[in-house]
A and B are shown apart, each in its own frame.
Chain A
Amino acid sequence: MPSRLRLTLAAAGILAMPFTAHAAAFNWQQYKGQTIHVLADNNPVGHMIETNRAAFEKKTGIKVEVDMFTEQQMRQRLVTVEDARSDPVDVFMTLPSREGLQFAKAGWYADLTPLTKDVAPDYDFAGLSPALIAAGTIDGHLTNIPVNIEGPALYYRRDVFQKCGVAVPKTLGDLPAVAQKLRACEPAMTPFVSRGLRDALAYTYSVFFHNMGGQYVVNGKSGLCSSAGLAALSLYGNMMKEYGPPGSVNYTFYQISALYRAGRAAMAFESTNELSNMMQGGARLHDTGITLLPPGPGGSHPTVIDWGLAISTYSKHKGAAWLLIQYLSSPAVQAANQLAGIAAPRADIASQPAVKQWLAGAPVRQEWQNTLAEMAKTGTSEVGYPIAQNPLSRQYFGDAVDKVILGAATPQAACAAADTKLNALIAGHAE
């Protein structure tokens, strides 16, 4: 873990101080002596769990074992354990926008609703992003507690825009013209880059789709090929094909961040989580602006998602597990996370002095914060079809987008092929 991250997370203790006196009434030691097992993804949120483990163990007397894997391997381990209805996992990281419905249908999430009544006085459950809490509530059951907030944002080079006399696009329709001007002015630069890898592009494509006015499911049928859907497919596909880097169909966050960080892209539509990667080395810290993707005919509907912490239905230590989740999602810990670039799903964190000071360190940080605040307010967590087979739906329309990027099919033909599969998927009798 980078020392900066460790240092800033260690600030949790200092930030937690004002809350300590009020929290005295709550018994943090009620499950002392128990051991809980956590399944974590090897990403900054997972590292945050590991960083806070010792402090939590000291505070509660609960021993925490953290198993950390890459995202896909973590999910494999979870599915194996849960499908066997066994209890070696008490707490697990989950991406509700992807697997929420699927795992809820399988009955793997313990309902956290009653547990939210048993909290320390300083916990402030209501302070957690209402949009994310709503997205994590399935059939009246609260499946997880968000521990970060993220979404795709438009990173752009202020200096290049200024040099080329180009303004930041005000609408989606302006995007191709802006990219064209940037190319004419800076031919060595990639005007626009976003995700093209089939299984990863739903995250960025969904914003184009929603801003164009698209809805994934309309009256029980796929809405991919509505006029708004086709317009989104054409725009995204053509932006990547005409103004994206060669080979963009294999692009996901790490190629995009590397390209932007190296100063080879004028605009990058990528996750707010990539801020620290994009700014690594400091070259982009003072020439980057961040904003939402401009609105389209359907308005502005940024994608906003979170990593959440859930308790396994089969856990035998739900009380102790809830204490860990409560601790990691508390205002104090989340304020420290924010300083490490893990955006907190609590709006009032930005007003804390330490966070304010960090944000003031570079204009791009304040823009990042403003973008996240707007996402939290107006965003949607619908990334792909709101069905249990959401991961498969992402592949189907991901294929359609890639066909357009590669010029292998017209938007109409690509969309029609995907729509047939998507309608079968919605009806519940697809592959």
Chain B
Amino acid sequence: MDLILVAVIALGAIGLIAAIVLFVASKKFAVFEDPRIAQVAEVLPQANCGGCGYPGCSGFAGACVKAADAGSLEGKLCPVGGAPVMEKVAAILGLEAVASEPKVAVVRCNGSCENRPRIVQYDGAVSCRVAHATCGGETLCSFGCLGCGDCVKACQFGAIKMNPETGLPEVDEAKCTACGACAKACPRMIIQIRKKGRVVKESHRRVWVSCVNKDKGALAGKACKVSCIGCSKCAKVCKKEAITIENNLAYIDPEKCIACGLCVNECPKKAIHATWEVPVPKPKPAPAEGVAPVQQAAPKAAPAAAQQVQQ
């Protein structure tokens, strides 16, 4: 009996002393963390993708709080959550959300098996980075997609899939968060994060050059049916000076482009892609600007309108 009592008292005493030490230590060495960081982290999607440029969601939360103390959330965007999440973050921090344009990953190569004939077979490790370092690829084009799917592996959101028919990756616009992981994974810098573009009839409109081949026109043309040959026809037709030609390759500046679609049909190689069907103009059409609004207003009627013009 005595023994038990001694043990209880002894343990109780040790417990009490330890509790006091711990209490004092927790008060003395307390690290102050802004409670807002935890609050902000809570509304973030916890994907920890790094697409915002910070190490994980808690890192981003910390950066947001710091930015809020400086006065503005400008430049801070969670690509996964997008505007709704940023509004919540802004509300917690007592600020106005800075509107930023939604973006999406765009694949700038259209060298499908049909367009770009295979001349050799690559049988090394299934990795674009390895293939890029070992050889120019299976075709004559040493700039285009290698088709080993590093971008698919890099995507955490299942937004990129390989199309087995074309051998090219395809981006699911609904799932893509524009975190940029695929663009970083691609050794040939084929994938680019671009603005989603203006909304017409509930779909985004954007235009891009679907080729990154910098070879001279004749060589690029030989390698692929739909390669950019740097003829600069698109640059001449563009009214906003959004298209530049560098190293035999056209580039459309998303900041300047208004997605009018003029260049799409001008391209002799069909290397310029648009997310919507651009009506083919007559050889000498009425001012193209006139055609575009008709199409915007009623896309279904557009082919009919085009036919009328032809008649």
Q: Do A and B come from one complex?
A: no
- Chain A residues near B (Cβ < 8 Å): none
